[in-house]
Structure 1
Amino acid sequence: MEGTPQWRFAVWSAVALAVLLCFSILTDAVRERWAVSVFQAGVFGLAIVWAVWTMFRPYRVRGSTVMIPLGGAVVWGLLQLITDQTVYRFDTWNAVLGWATNFVIFFLSLQVLAFIEIRQAFRKSLLSFGCALSVVSVIQFFTSNGKVFWLFPAQYAEQALGPFVNRDHYASFVALLLPLALYKILAERKRAVGYAAVAGAMFASVIAGASRAGSILVTLEIAVLLFPLIIGHTISLRTLLASLARIAFFAVVFTAVVGWEVLWERFQDPDPLRFRREVFYSSLCMIRDRPWTGCGLGAWPTAYPAYALLDIGAFANHAHCDWVEWTAEGGFPLLAMLLWIFIWGFRSAIRFVWGAGVVAVFLHSMVDFPLQKPALAALMFVLLAALAASANDQRAGEGPAHQKPIQAGPSRCPKRVPRKAFVLPVCIRLLGVILPSAVVRIRPD
């Protein structure tokens, strides 16, 4: 296939997709609409090019079950507009456009990343971009006086990390890409030290940013290294311990350089859910009034003031819990669609551990709103498409090339055990960490 017109077209499409993703991430701090509009126009423009190409040169179209709930979110928003089940039509139209962009970028990524070599190169490029941006972000954090890339004043100067003006959003960005480095540590033993340094630098940047939920999640992602051993890959305990030791060494060294004191002080906060608790409860009241239709996609900020329990002295633009915000805006049908995507991503990440960042960001969404940001949502759906492409290859029986086997001396033959034996302990571990911070208790007045 390499060298054919289809191959060359897929390569150039991957380059265009990478440029669009980088543009979206690097302009995340822009508050004006133009940055998101340029990104969305680029995605739809690339889709038009693909449509024209396939008219003249037939191209095998790949599919995935994820397209059903993702497309369903677009249809659900349109139905809200048609039936006038939204409190603010303008925001709902914008939200429909956003979900349509997510659908298109997932579909395009699924086609482009269907080629194994392109998929591997794309993941490596994303990791390189993430590592470079994490280093720049930390340097900027300590030297820019709250300016994005030393040029533009940030909305929240004390939190600005690279193009992200919110420490939690930056942590979600790193959480999406960190498993790519963790997987490479085991998959490419000759370069394990280099990838361990990359993972350590990215981990330390989250610690420097002082995101509480983000720091917990990136720490838990280190458990990704245990997945191959748990699910039966032939990997020696010595190799596993050596990999963990490398990561621990670089993580400790880089964390000592950037500092952990601010994060520790934030963990000492006696009420970490201050204001978020009341906003969460208000959102539950919104769900109670419109459990099936919701208030309209993207219309949560408009509907919230009528349910607010107190004036927090600032504009509440999000519920600080994507799951409850999705349910308030789209009702239980939209919640079911997003749960479908999450469960599919969780199951896929068990088979392809480099995709564990998708699960981490969905969990982070329980206590924050990373997936309300177009850049982070686009990056997550691109990684989901890469997971879907790998799953398609596995079902097609194209051999182990879709995921390089974990090396452990001369033996490289993977051996699998029943998946249920692995899913239960992982779920218990994750729930044991996440649920205590996600439980909301309403204090009496």
Structure 2
Amino acid sequence: MSTALFLCLAWGILTLWVRDRWAVASFQSLALLLAAACLVDAWKAGRQPRWHPLLWPLAAVPCWGLCQLAAGWSVDPWNTSEAVLIWTGHLAVAFVAVQLAGETRRFRLLFAVFGTVLALEAMLQCWTAGGTVFWLFDSGYTERVFGPFVYHNKFAQFVELVLPVVLFQSLKDRNRAPLWFAAAALLFGGILASASRSGLLMGLLELGLLLATAYISGTARGKVLVWSGVSLALLAVAGGLLAGWSGMLERVTGLDPRMDLRLPIWKSTLAMIRERPATGFGLGSFPIAYPAYADMDIGLIVNTAHQDWLQWAAEGGVPMLLAMLWFTGMAAPRLLRSLWGVGALVVLVHGLMDYPMHQNPAFASLLIAVVVLAVTSND
């Protein structure tokens, strides 16, 4: 089942660039079929399907969306219905992950290899494909298209998710440790190539968390800790040599907080939250509800709040925000102890300045799967 779950998620990631409905629908259908297969398997074995407390907040979200529809609170019932389907798909993926009963080795290995290969392809594609996806398909953009990720920050978030898994593999597979370390350097180079400022910040935070967690848990002490720190520093240098620092330096040195369009969007989103703190405007309704609260025209269509946590509060009110805090709060300690799940926690933190959990359902499902697998892992 771990291979089937991985293939389902890999399909979702590889089709992120597709704008037509069939891509998301096929991914969600596969997730629901896998969940149904787990139920049938449990029934045939004469046992109850496994359950985990992490599933409760994930189940609460689509239920809350249905409540918004039934009560007439949603300003965009169609998109709220769509969001209910998306969160049901997330729940299905998490349910399948729980059924693996902590046996995560195969999934972890497949994900580490897949993530490394895709990162390499993505960088080569960005440098040579002129905005096409896999050198074949028109993306609608002419630059900074990384594999199936048409938004550079999403690619950086994907790398954040994979990097600790690869580093963990270097600890578990000492015979191939140099190969895994090279893969980690490649991945860090991917963050630099993306020129994502928040991605670089989160990547450095991730490396620091890994060192701190390894020290606190006793995995690395004394000379081992020093060597680990030196290794991570060399990793960053190697990544810089591979991808170059120029693009990232231009983005960082050219930063002007006054020109950051996210700030007025966040301010307007806070006004939305103050207007409907208890009920929200309806899951998935942000693009419809936002214009009435925008206090300035930034010249662009605003589809997201560019901040996951604010958008959850605006669309779902306090109940939605509490559900996600519940999910993250339960998972965080175990994600840190697992080491390889640190990336999932970092991506959730990245949601304080971007939107990794919005617009791309398959990536959000992948993030949730990594959270559940790391929390329930026996390693």
TM-score using structure 2 length:
0.95
Give 1:110's aligned residue: 98
Question: For residues 319-358 of structure 1, what are the structure 2 equivalents within 5 Å?
Answer: 319-358=305-344
Relative to 1, partners in 2 of residues 1:51 and 1:234: Cα closer, same or farther, differing over 3 Å?
A: closer
Query: Would the aligned equivalents of 1:345 and 1:358 in 2 still touch at CA under 8 Å?
Result: no
Letter in 1 for 2:38: W
CA distance in 2, matches of 1:182, 1:171: 17
Letter in 1 for 2:2: A
SS of match in other structure, 2:205:
helix
Query: Would the aligned equivalents of 1:227 and 1:353 in 2 still touch at CA under 8 Å?
Result: no
Deviation at 1:69, TM superposition (A): 1.0
Question: For residues 429-440 of structure 1, what are the structure 2 equivalents within 5 Å?
Answer: none
Aligned residue pairs: how many?
A: 377
Give 1:313's aligned residue: 299
SS of match in other structure, 1:314:
coil
Deviation at 1:74, TM superposition (A): 1.1
Relative to 1, partners in 2 of residues 1:50 and 1:273: Cα closer, same or farther, differing over 3 Å?
A: farther
Letter in 2 for 1:98: I
37-46 or 89-98, which deviates more: 37-46
Post-superposition Cα deviations, 1:8-56, rounded to whole Å, max 9, x if no partner, equal xxxxx22221111011001111111110000011111222222333333
SS of match in other structure, 2:72:
coil
Query: Would the aligned equivalents of 1:227 and 1:350 in 2 still touch at CA under 8 Å?
Result: no
Question: For residues 37-436 of structure 1, what are the structure 2 equivalents within 5 Å?
Answer: 37-112=25-100, 114-116=101-103, 119-233=104-218, 235-268=220-253, 269-271=255-257, 274-372=260-358, 373-390=360-377, 402-403=378-379
Relative to 1, partners in 2 of residues 1:234 and 1:40: Cα closer, same or farther, differing over 3 Å?
A: closer
Of 4, 23, 38, the residue aligned with 2:11 is: 23
Deviation at 1:228, TM superposition (A): 4.9
Query: Would the aligned equivalents of 1:300 and 1:325 in 2 still touch at CA under 8 Å?
Result: yes
Deviation at 1:272, TM superposition (A): 6.9
Which has the larger Rg?
1
CA distance in 1, matches of 2:339, 2:233: 19
Deviation at 1:222, TM superposition (A): 1.4
CA distance in 2, matches of 1:212, 1:44: 36
CA distance in 1, matches of 2:97, 2:126: 32
Letter in 1 for 2:222: L
Query: Would the aligned equivalents of 1:206 and 1:215 in 2 still touch at CA under 8 Å?
Result: yes
CA distance in 1, matches of 2:30, 2:88: 13
175-184 or 198-207, which deviates more: 175-184
Relative to 1, partners in 2 of residues 1:364 and 1:272: Cα closer, same or farther, differing over 3 Å?
A: farther
Letter in 2 for 1:332: V
Deviation at 1:369, TM superposition (A): 0.8
Relative to 1, partners in 2 of residues 1:319 and 1:163: Cα closer, same or farther, differing over 3 Å?
A: same
Q: 5+ unaligned residues in a row in structure 2: which ranges?
A: none
CA distance in 1, matches of 2:217, 2:164: 19
Relative to 1, partners in 2 of residues 1:50 and 1:188: Cα closer, same or farther, differing over 3 Å?
A: closer
Query: Would the aligned equivalents of 2:211 and 2:229 in 1 still touch at CA under 8 Å?
Result: no
TM-score using structure 1 length:
0.81
Deviation at 1:250, TM superposition (A): 4.1
Deviation at 1:232, TM superposition (A): 4.2
SS of match in other structure, 2:340:
helix
Letter in 1 for 2:144: Q
Query: Would the aligned equivalents of 1:364 and 1:370 in 2 still touch at CA under 8 Å?
Result: yes
Relative to 1, partners in 2 of residues 1:246 and 1:297: Cα closer, same or farther, differing over 3 Å?
A: same
Letter in 1 for 2:364: A
Deviation at 1:389, TM superposition (A): 1.8
Q: Quick one: percent identity of the two aligned structures?
A: 36
Letter in 2 for 1:140: Q
SS of match in other structure, 1:316:
coil
Post-superposition Cα deviations, 1:357-395, rounded to whole Å, max 9, x if no partner, equal 1111111111111111212211111112212322xxxxx
Post-superposition Cα deviations, 1:230-287, rounded to whole Å, max 9, x if no partner, equal 3242544323333333343343233223211111111122127622111111111111
